[in-house]
Amino acid sequence: MADGEKPAAGSGAANWRLARIDGDYNGVINAADITPIAQHWGEQLHGYYICRAVPGSSDFLPLTDPDQPEELLFVPRAAADHIDPHRVVQYTYTDLLADSGKYTYYVVPVCLADAEQLTGPGSRTAQALRNLAPLAMIMATPTVPGGPLYTFDASESFDTDGSIVGYEWSLDHDAVFEVDAGNNPVLEYRFNEAGNQRVLLRVTDDAGGTGTDIVMVTVDFINVAYFTCTPQTGRAPVNATFDPSGSYFPTGVEFYR
């Protein structure tokens, strides 16, 4: 075929040139592809091998056949009379990812000539990610039982195959997480209304997976008188200082005595 002409998509010729001789993947066979053409002159395309690099490694190894572990996994090319001339030929292989992390793949075209296995240039790479979702856990502790001030502690949350990088909260009975606490698992919050309060936590792991937890707390009253006393012990006579600044009266009452 002359320079600049493309075979019909899905014709055997299209797959062949993409796989074996179109070295710069631009769909056109021209002078830039002279070297791979020369290298693979006279070869045929019988199928493909799949090469894989597992998480933490940059070494690509061809997959072995699950039924014959000593053999490479060979994906045979469809017979010419089974190739739909109007479609790109597609092949599907499902890989079981044993470990968490990023897997990278490419395919290699294979020519089975005279019991020899001649391989062509590898395809572009594709990636797959396995990630286990993190588990969110809330511990809720009121500063004063029944009071409006709570500490929500999400530090028991965990991610089995990574780490948690983000904590978000919804404290207004919906699923919109209006509080982005960044990487801080502890949130102090004061409710402005008595009653049952629903608190939602969403944690995000280092691979973008999320997990949620929900807790219901009850607020009996929203005005709290809260004193600290300094010192707390001593011999009489003691000059003690009472500090009521931790009190809060959101209804507008401010009266200390």
Applying CB under 5 A, the residues found at the interface with Ca ion are: 131-132, 159, 161-162, 170, 172, 174, 176, 178, 205, 209
Find the shortest distance in angstroms from Cβ 179 to Ca ion. 8
* Nearest partner of 164 among 129, 200, 128, 211, judged by Cα: 211
Find the shortest distance in angstroms from Cβ 167 to Ca ion. 14
Find the shortest distance in angstroms from Cβ 54 to Ca ion. 17
Return the number of the residue (9 or 137) whose C-beta is nearest Ca ion: 137
Six-digit token pair at 80?
Answer: 């010419």
Q: Beta-carbon neighbour count of residue 171 at 10 Å?
A: 18
Return the number of the residue (99 or 243) whose C-beta is nearest Ca ion: 99
| C-alpha dist (Å) from residue 253 to 68, 69, 242 | 80, 78, 19
- Nearest-CB residue for Ca ion: 170
Return the number of the residue (28 or 132) whose C-beta is nearest Ca ion: 132
Find the shortest distance in angstroms from Cβ 177 to Ca ion. 6
Find the shortest distance in angstroms from Cβ 170 to Ca ion. 3
Return the number of the residue (156 or 174) whose C-beta is nearest Ca ion: 174
Length of the chain: 257
Return the number of the residue (55 or 122) whose C-beta is nearest Ca ion: 55
Find the shortest distance in angstroms from Cβ 71 to Ca ion. 34
Return the number of the residue (43 or 159) whose C-beta is nearest Ca ion: 159
The answer to whether the beta carbons of residues 169 and 187 sit under 8 Å apart is: yes
What SS3 class is residue 225? coil
E strands present in 72-157: 74-76, 101-113, 116-119, 126-130, 139-142, 149-153
Six-digit token pair at 224?
Answer: 């709290």
- φ/ψ bin of 117: left (φ > 0), alpha (ψ from -120 to 50), beta (otherwise): beta
